[in-house]
A and B are shown apart, each in its own frame.
Chain A
Amino acid sequence: MAAADKVDPIHQFHINPIVPIHVGGYDVSFTNSALFMVVIVVVTGLFLYFSTAGRSLVPSRLQSISEMSYEFVASMLRDAAGTHGMKFFPFVFSIFMFVMVANLIGLFPYFFSVTSHIIVTFALAMLVIGTVVIYGFAKHGFGFLKLFVPSGVPVALLPLVVSIEVVSFLSRPVSLSIRLFANMLAGHITLKVFAGFVVSLGAMGVAGMAGAVLPLAMVVALTALELLVAALQAYVFAVLTCMYLADALHPSH
């Protein structure tokens, strides 16, 4: 089948340099991934700026969207980390909007989804954990290490428990990044595979075209599911960010 050869579900994740730049042996080219990151930031910034520029008392639809996203993140952060946590609001809101817009933009055909690369999601997760660690040590000094020592554990078990807690803490950025990356990667591959079925079945004459209706319906349903997943994963990422920041704020509560 000639058509089947063209269906390459991984092709959409290739990174192609647009402006090749090499500095001191490192490849720092401006790639399609970087281009879409710039697009995401510009789109988010322009949207938030123009939708709130009117500042009307009774919000328009677009203003409602930006106000809702603000309220949503603010209440999430307040619930998880208390009012002290609101000093991290700009950070959490930026992360939430970046992930959300990146996931949604990735859903357009022929668009590159930045969050389907683990290095991007891992960088975001390390940013979160780095903030937690640095802020925790800056605020509480070595008291931050109490995070790893649960109260009421016998001294004999303490080395074991502490090492388990440390591994558990180190696994946080990994699970945070793997979750987002795996969801986006799997969703996009599934969409591509089913869309490929439509094309290859449609090339097989009338009977094939009749059969192609099924994968087509599947693609429509999957697109709706992916829309849900895109929003959901941004939400999960932001919720966990809030929870981890709460640990940095109150390590021993």
Chain B
Amino acid sequence: MASDKRPAGAGKTGPGSKGDTDPRDDDLERRRRELEAKLATRRPGRLEGEDKGQTRSVSGYAQAFRLSSEFIAAIAVGIGIGWVLDRWAGTSPWGLIVFLLLGFCAGILNVLRAAGLVGEFGRGGKRSDG
């Protein structure tokens, strides 16, 4: 990319040639600092643009899989908690029923959250379930 436009010696600056201090090195050092400063000012905008492009191209498949797995995982966890609670407390069907329903709610909450329709954890805001 940009390397083609550099002077011929610039590419060889590695750990080996640190000792010599010819003016070209100083010049290079100055230009590197300038580039760094320029990059720092451009960083937020550039990264945002990159990220958007990335998520858009991969979104379909990844998003679909993410939504479904969030939903299933919450229900599975609800069933698991209910079953264990029943085993320990001997409240036979009730733990399973209650926690299955809670898991279902949590699954829907997870899906809405993954889709960006509900705020993240601890943020409150609109809430369509519960």
Question: Would you call A171 and B122 a contact (CB within 8 A)?
Answer: no
A153 to B125, CA, bound (A): 9
Question: Would you call B124 and A57 a contact (CB within 8 A)?
Answer: no
Question: Would you call A164 and B122 a contact (CB within 8 A)?
Answer: no
Interchain CB contact (< 8 A) of B105 among A149, A164, A251:
A164
Question: Would you call A57 and B122 a contact (CB within 8 A)?
Answer: no
Interchain CB contact (< 8 A) of A171 among B13, B110, B119, B123:
B110
Question: Would you call B58 and A54 a contact (CB within 8 A)?
Answer: no
Question: Would you call B74 and A167 a contact (CB within 8 A)?
Answer: yes
Which among A151, A163, A229 has the greatest number of chain B C-beta atoms within 10 A?
A163
Question: Would you call B81 and A167 a contact (CB within 8 A)?
Answer: yes
Q: Find chain A residues with CB under 8 A from B70 CB.
A: 171, 175
A147-B122, A164-B109, A252-B122 are contacts. A170–B130 as well, Cβ < 8 Å? no
Question: Would you call A150 and B123 a contact (CB within 8 A)?
Answer: yes
Interface residues of chain B: helix, strand, loop or mixed (majority): helix
Question: Would you call A247 and B72 a contact (CB within 8 A)?
Answer: no
Within 8 Å of chain B (Cβ to Cβ): is A216?
Answer: no
Interchain CB contact (< 8 A) of A170 among B15, B77, B125:
B77
A182 to B64, CA, bound (A): 13
Interface string of B26-52 (1 = CB under 8 A from A): 000000000000000000000100110
Q: Find chain A residues with CB under 8 A from B92 CB.
A: none
A59 to B3, CA, bound (A): 10
Interchain CB contact (< 8 A) of B109 among A58, A168, A183, A247:
A168
Which among A170, A175, A252 has the greatest number of chain B C-beta atoms within 10 A?
A175
Q: Find chain B residues with CB under 8 A from A160 CB.
A: 130
Q: Find chain B residues with CB under 8 A from A182 CB.
A: 69
Closest to B48 in A: A79
Interface string of A138-181 (1 = CB under 8 A from B): 00000000111111110001001101110111111011001100
Q: Find chain B residues with CB under 8 A from A224 CB.
A: none
Closest CB in chain B relative to A64 CB, distance in Å: 10
Interface size of A by CB at 8 A reads: 43
Interchain CB contact (< 8 A) of B10 among A57, A150, A253:
A57
Interchain CB contact (< 8 A) of B77 among A75, A149, A174:
A174
A232 to B59, CA, bound (A): 10
Question: Would you call A175 and B130 a contact (CB within 8 A)?
Answer: no
Within 8 Å of chain A (Cβ to Cβ): is B88?
Answer: no
Interface string of B48-75 (1 = CB under 8 A from A): 0011000000100110011001101110
Closest CB in chain A relative to B79 CB, distance in Å: 10
Q: Find chain B residues with CB under 8 A from A252 CB.
A: 122
Question: Would you call A56 and B76 a contact (CB within 8 A)?
Answer: no
Query: Taking beta carbons and an 8 Å cutoff, which residues of A are in contact with B?
Result: 54-58, 75, 78-79, 146-153, 157, 160-161, 163-165, 167-172, 174-175, 178-179, 182-183, 229, 232, 235-236, 243, 247, 251-253
Query: Taking beta carbons and an 8 Å cutoff, which residues of B are in contact with A?
Result: 3, 6, 10-15, 47, 50-51, 58, 61-62, 65-66, 69-70, 72-74, 76-78, 81, 99, 102-103, 105-107, 109-110, 113, 119-125, 127, 129-130
Q: What are the 7 tightest A-B residue pairs by CB atom distance, in nearest-first order?
A: A175-B73, A151-B124, A168-B106, A171-B74, A167-B106, A174-B73, A150-B124
